[in-house]
């Protein structure tokens, strides 16, 4: 049986959309600038830490930056509706938004963990052709290094007992 009464928050959606469209572009640019600055700072920090732990590895600042941006941007996206709902009561992001953002956050975490297939997947699904070129060049220069890391970690794993 279909419920004839809409959910309480669905009545607010037109008002929320109208307010969201009124969001000053300056605020969005400021938030993007903050996320970018935090991503750059963390990428430099992680790269310094990685190079101290393994001096033979090539710098991975761009990879760290991509991964951290991929973690922080969806978190910002999920938090923006809460800003608009202060006057209407608390409303969580929708399940669809969470289902769209969660894989991106997980992918970002894998990129920060230097997993080559995660980075390659990100290059493929990011719809920014100029960035494709930059990321493909970057990834091609590090592919063998990632492959060596993968092989070394597989060799370091303990053997499974046979049955």
Q: Give the model confidence (pLDDT) of 97-120 as tens digits.
A: 778 888 999 999 999 998 888 888
pLDDT given for residue 30 in this prediction: 85
Residues with Cβ within 8 Å of residue 139, at least 6 apart in sequence: 116, 119, 120, 123
117 compared with 152, residue with greater pLDDT: 117
CA–CA gap between residue 117 and residue 60 (Å, rounded):
15
Q: Please report whether residue 99 resides in a domain.
A: yes
82 compared with 76, residue with greater pLDDT: 76
The gap from C-alpha 135 to its chain's centroid, in whole angstroms, comes to: 15
Q: Please report whether residue 26 resides in a domain.
A: yes
Q: Please report whether residue 163 resides in a domain.
A: no
CA–CA gap between residue 148 and residue 108 (Å, rounded):
21
Residue of 36, 38, 57, 37 lying closest to 47 (CA atoms):
57
pLDDT given for residue 108 in this prediction: 93
Q: Please report whether residue 89 resides in a domain.
A: yes
pTM: 0.69
Q: Please report whether residue 70 resides in a domain.
A: yes
Q: Please report whether residue 54 resides in a domain.
A: yes
Q: Please report whether residue 156 resides in a domain.
A: no
* pLDDT over threshold 70, residue 14: no
Q: Please report whether residue 127 resides in a domain.
A: no
What is the extent of the structural domain holding 64?
Answer: 22-114
pLDDT mean over 114-134: 86
**Site of tokens 């809460």:** 82
Number of structural domains (the chain) is 1
């Amino acid at each position: 049986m279909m419920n004839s009464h809409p959910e309480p928050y669905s009545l607010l959606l037109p008002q929320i959309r109208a307010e969201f469209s009124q969001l000053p572009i300056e605020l969005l640019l400021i938030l993007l600038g903050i996320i970018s600055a935090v991503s750059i700072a963390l990428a430099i920090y992680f790269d310094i830490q990685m190079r101290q732990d393994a001096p033979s590895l090539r710098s991975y600042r761009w990879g760290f930056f991509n991964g951290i941006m991929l973690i922080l941007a969806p978190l910002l996206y999920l938090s923006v509706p809460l800003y608009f709902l202060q006057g209407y009561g608390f409303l969580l992001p929708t399940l669809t938004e969470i289902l769209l953002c969660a894989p991106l956050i997980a992918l970002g975490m894998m990129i920060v963990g230097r997993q080559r297939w995660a980075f390659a997947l990100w290059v493929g699904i990011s719809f920014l052709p100029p960035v494709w070129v930059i990321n493909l060049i970057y990834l091609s220069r590090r592919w063998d290094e990632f492959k060596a890391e993968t092989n070394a970690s597989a060799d370091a794993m303990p053997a499974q007992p046979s049955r």
